[in-house]
A and B are shown apart, each in its own frame.
Chain A
């Protein structure tokens, strides 16, 4: 059986909270990163605060409801992002979130590769029936990445966010187990 944590460009890892917190502090210096990841106002957090959240997440999490990973490049072994899965155990459904922190690594396929690993983990390891995610309409790069990973657009929360004096929709997408299995068979054929 293949290694589910290893893709073509990236691998999923577990990092020491202190190390990851120091990286996240650097990522948050770019308001664009915050705006792509979240709908709240961009804020600056201390390393200590972020480390506290990460430590709490490590303690409270890791299955069966929450799984959390970091993302490293295969080439250079650089920590570039994070990935989280939140399971609804009763309905066999999982909500995922992903972020590539450093601008220098955007638009190069790292996020798409990590998302493919995420979906594979959800269907092949967690065994869920459906994977869901949300994004902002002002993030077309994410939309393309999620489409490449197999997600379908399912709806839009109209005029959900205010950014730069304009209103923007939020979008949500999903992929069903049978759709993903079909994709895998198609890839092999």
Chain B
């Protein structure tokens, strides 16, 4: 069997709290990055503060949480992170999150490649039935990437977000096991 964590441009690796928190502190200096990543108000954290929550996530994580770093195959550079969290084991459904940290690494296909690897892990290792994600209306690059990885649009929470003085939709997408199997046969 092949290494299921390796893609064409990137591979999924473990998270080293020391390395990851230093990189994340630099990425999150860019409020544009923060706003694409999460709903909270952008704030700035020291690498020490980041390291504490990263370590807590890794140590206390329940059996249903699988975090990874994203590294380029070309030069083993840490470029982002991704995780999968199982919502209901009885329903075999999960939520995923993903980010590419530095602007210089956006738009190069790393995120799409990493998501394809994560989906393979979800369906071929965790044996899930479906995978979901949420994405902000103001992040069309991410939407295109998820579409390329095989996600379908499932609806939106209308005007759920307030950024830059206007309201935006929160979009939800999903992919079923059978859909993924068809794409990968």
Q: Taking beta carbons and an 8 Å cutoff, which residues of B are in contact with A?
A: 39-41, 87-88, 90-93, 129-130, 132, 152, 154-162, 167, 172, 174, 176
Q: Are B129 and A167 in contact, CB atoms less than 8 angstroms apart?
A: yes
Chain B positions within 8 Å of A41 at CB level: 90
Return 26 A-B CB contacts under 8 Å, by A number: A90-B39, A90-B41, A90-B162, A91-B39, A91-B162, A129-B162, A130-B157, A130-B158, A132-B157, A132-B160, A154-B155, A155-B154, A155-B156, A155-B172, A156-B154, A157-B130, A157-B154, A158-B154, A158-B174, A159-B129, A160-B130, A162-B129, A167-B129, A174-B157, A174-B158, A176-B159
Q: Are B40 and A90 in contact, CB atoms less than 8 angstroms apart?
A: yes
Q: Is A88 an interface residue (CB 8 A)?
A: yes
Q: Are B90 and A160 in contact, CB atoms less than 8 angstroms apart?
A: no
Count: A-B pairs, CB below 8 Å: 75
Query: Beta-carbon contacts of A119-143 to B below 8 Å, as 1s and 0s?
Result: 0000000000110100000000000
Q: Are B87 and A92 in contact, CB atoms less than 8 angstroms apart?
A: no
Q: Please report the total number of A residues contacting B with Cβ < 8 Å.
A: 24
Q: How far is the CA of A10 from the CA of B162 in the complex (A)?
A: 34
Query: Beta-carbon contacts of A79-98 to B below 8 Å, as 1s and 0s?
Result: 00000000010111100000
Q: Are B90 and A40 in contact, CB atoms less than 8 angstroms apart?
A: yes
Query: Beta-carbon contacts of A143-183 to B below 8 Å, as 1s and 0s?
Result: 00000000000111111111000010000101010000000
Q: Is A39 an interface residue (CB 8 A)?
A: yes
Q: Chain B nearest CB: distance from A77 CB in Å?
A: 36
Q: How far is the CA of A159 from the CA of B40 in the complex (A)?
A: 30
Chain A positions within 8 Å of B155 at CB level: 154-156, 172
Contacts A90-B40, A156-B154 known; list 11 others, CB within 8 Å. A39-B93, A93-B160, A132-B157, A155-B154, A155-B172, A161-B90, A162-B91, A162-B92, A167-B129, A174-B157, A174-B158
Q: Are B87 and A39 in contact, CB atoms less than 8 angstroms apart?
A: yes
Q: How far is the CA of A161 from the CA of B92 in the complex (A)?
A: 8
Chain A positions within 8 Å of B160 at CB level: 91, 93, 130, 132, 174
Chain B positions within 8 Å of A88 at CB level: 39
Chain A positions within 8 Å of B130 at CB level: 157-160
Chain B positions within 8 Å of A176 at CB level: 158-159
Q: Chain A nearest CB: distance from B22 CB in Å?
A: 27
Q: Which of A40, A154, A172, A176 has the most CB of B within 10 A?
A: A154
Q: Are A40 and B129 in contact, CB atoms less than 8 angstroms apart?
A: no
